[in-house]
Amino acid sequence: MNTRIHPALILLTVLVYFFLIGPLIIIFGASVSDTSYLAFPPQGLTLHWFENIWEISAFRRTIVTSFQVALLGTFIALLIGIPAAYALNRHRIHLPGWLSTLFILPILVPEIVIGFSLLRSINVGLGIPVIYSLLIGHTLLVLPYVVRVISAALASFDFSIEEAAISLGSRPVKTFFTIVLPNVRSGVIAAFILAFITSINDVSVSLFLTGPGISTLPIQILAHVEQFFDPTVASVSVLLMALTIIVMIIVERTLGLTVVAK
Amino acid sequence: MKRLAGWMLSSPATLAVSLFLIIPVAATISVTFTAPGGVFAPYVEFFSSGFQRTVLWRTFEVAALTTIMALFFGLLTAYVVSRCPPWMKSVLIVLAVFPLLTGVVVRSFAWLIILGRNGVLNNTLEWLGVIERPMALLYSQTSVVIAMIYIFIPLMILVLIGVLENIPDDLLQASSSLGASPTATFVQIILPLATPGLIVGAVLVFTASFTSYATPHLLGGTRQMMMGTFLHQRAMVSFDWVSASTVAAIMVVVIVTTVLVMTRLAKRLNPMAS
């Protein structure tokens, strides 16, 4: 391209990126500060606040809960989302158009409304224990990502290969697992990662579906910040950023990061 | 047979969405119409309170300001990124994806460190001699808006990079070879073609900031209540579930209306459509 970009625009872009990354670097600095309050630049260096995460039992518990709920919720969403995405692609002509909109609904309805409604209806109304309500909420939250990403992967799959296998005598279920699924593997990985990250970071749905002894990491962070203004939360944030980096490396290695950008 | 297979395969997900989303949300909304005192009583109550009108108006204001700022800076940034050489473009996309995957609580928390009384900004300004004593920056509308722009601008940048990349290079070359200045090309070619994408980005940012909880909670406190924080306060502090349901219903109406109107507008304004 030969259109020149005005230097002022380049300066602005640099500033925007400084604005994007600067705060995350500040969190990192605050997490190693040798002070009992949040300070940047760090006064002295210590890893005490990282140890502190494990010493505070509430953090230990919520980290475990968050991972359990995210893994199990994502797994259930894949279990019900993959057949739905398959049906939407393979049997589109037999299905009404609104069905694909239905699976996007959990993104359209405000998360905080979903959380509150689930609390009212299934937790209090039906007496379903908090932990199961939380799991249901998270499954619902990540379902749209699963259906959308896997639908996109299936859209570029040539179903005549599947039909060839079936016409040669392979059973439909077996064909799905040996022909279709391996071909959309990258879509499944992308859906898994996107769903997992969404679930781990969720605030608004979890906000209402946590109870005594059962909470998730972001909710615990909010509660901790209100009571103590120490660098422990900065350390937890650094660990969450490390998790994000690991996820990005996995995505980059397996599919290329453009998948997430879409 | 085939018709049945499609329904059967999609039924678990359909059932999950119906049972755990549609019915609960419908129940929440219907509560506001069956409350004692008449059909619209909770809404009359909501809009007759000056405080609650302020909360609603503030939420509109913060979401609109966030959207406009994110649109402006996001568009210019995405334009530069889309014109970068490929290796640099990938780096810049990664740097925008990273915050997006980092989570709202962590990113809102960063602004507590920056805007706090002993925060980075106050310390820097004091050190530079601009101010003599720390300013109270937190728990103001400005701090909420700044953090919101921070939270949502990566989303805008990524949406708009995709949109701008889809504009064929030939068009821009034709424009400049016919003598148009870069500014004229931007305003007359790029902007109209990017409009549907700008609307999509605006809808995403507006709806997300209108319904957000963590950012107004951390940076606005109780003084800068928005609809999300207000809903939580009504439900979990006051235990007034009818009032909380009314807030929820108003949020749903605002979001659904925004999405429907804007996507229709985006379709109509698309110059590439026939």
**A202: nearest CA in chain B?**
B103
d(CA A232, CA B259): 39
Whether pLDDT at A259 is above 70? no
Q: Which residue is associated with the tokens 């101010």?
A: B131
Q: Does B130 map to a domain?
A: yes
Give me the pLDDT at residue B117, please: 83
Segment A195-232, tens digit of pLDDT: 999 999 999 999 999 988 899 999 999 999 988 888 88
Whether pLDDT at A100 is above 60? yes
Give me the pLDDT at residue B26, please: 97
**A125: nearest CA in chain B?**
B24
Range of the domain at B199: 57-225
**Could you please report the per-residue DSSP string of A89-157?**
HHSGGGS-THHHHHTTHHHHS-HHHHHHHHIIIIIIIS---HHHHHHHHHHHHHHHHHHHHHHHHHHTS
Give me the pLDDT at residue A208, please: 95
Q: Does B47 map to a domain?
A: no
Give me the pLDDT at residue A2, please: 45
- ipTM score above 0.90: yes
Q: Does B12 map to a domain?
A: no
A108-134: average pLDDT: 95
The residues near A76 (Cβ < 8 Å, ≥ 6 apart) are A135, A139
Whether pLDDT at A71 is above 90? yes
Cβ-Cβ contacts under 8 Å, A121 against chain B: 23-24, 27-28
**How many domains are contained in chain B?**
1
The shares of helix, strand and coil residues in chain B, as percent rounded to the nearest 5, are 80, 0, 20
CATH number, domain containing residue B174: 1.10.3720.10
Q: Does B266 map to a domain?
A: no
Q: Does B185 map to a domain?
A: yes
How would residue B274 be classed by pLDDT, with cut points 50, 70 and 90? very low
Q: What is the least distance, in Å, from the CA of B81 to any CA of chain A?
A: 8
Whether pLDDT at B243 is above 70? yes
- Between chains, do B101 and A261 touch, taking CB under 8 Å as contact? no
Whether pLDDT at A257 is above 80? no
CB-based contact B165:B190 (threshold 8 Å):
no
Point out which residues pair with A45 in neighbouring strands: A33
Q: What are phi and psi of A214, to 5 degrees?
A: -120, 115
d(CA B237, CA B243): 12
User: Counting one residue from A and one from B, how many pairs have CB atoms under 8 Å apart?
Assistant: 271
Q: Does B219 map to a domain?
A: yes
- Between chains, do B80 and A203 touch, taking CB under 8 Å as contact? no
Widest Cα–Cα separation across chain B = 78
Whether pLDDT at B45 is above 80? yes
Cβ-Cβ contacts under 8 Å, A229 against chain B: 116
**A261: nearest CA in chain B?**
B158
Least-confidence region, from A31-45, A52-66, A110-124, B218-232: A31-45
Segment B120-169, tens digit of pLDDT: 899 899 889 888 888 888 999 999 999 999 999 999 999 999 999 988 88
Residue A132: other Cβ atoms inside 10 A: 12
- Between chains, do A30 and B113 touch, taking CB under 8 Å as contact? yes
Give me the pLDDT at residue A3, please: 54
Query: Which two structure tokens, joined as six digits, stand for A21?
Result: 């990354």
Whether pLDDT at B54 is above 50? yes
How would residue A260 be classed by pLDDT, with cut points 50, 70 and 90? low
Q: What is the least distance, in Å, from the CA of A231 to any CA of chain B?
A: 10
CB-based contact B211:A112 (threshold 8 Å):
yes
Q: Does B51 map to a domain?
A: no
Segment B96-111, tens digit of pLDDT: 999 999 999 999 999 9
Q: What percent of chain A has pLDDT over 70?
A: 96
Give me the pLDDT at residue B272, please: 66
Q: Does B9 map to a domain?
A: no
Tell me the three state secondary structure of residue B130: coil
Least-confidence region, from A27-36, A138-147, A181-190, B13-22: A27-36
**A245: nearest CA in chain B?**
B98
Minimum-distance CB partner of B150 among A23, A218, A240: A23
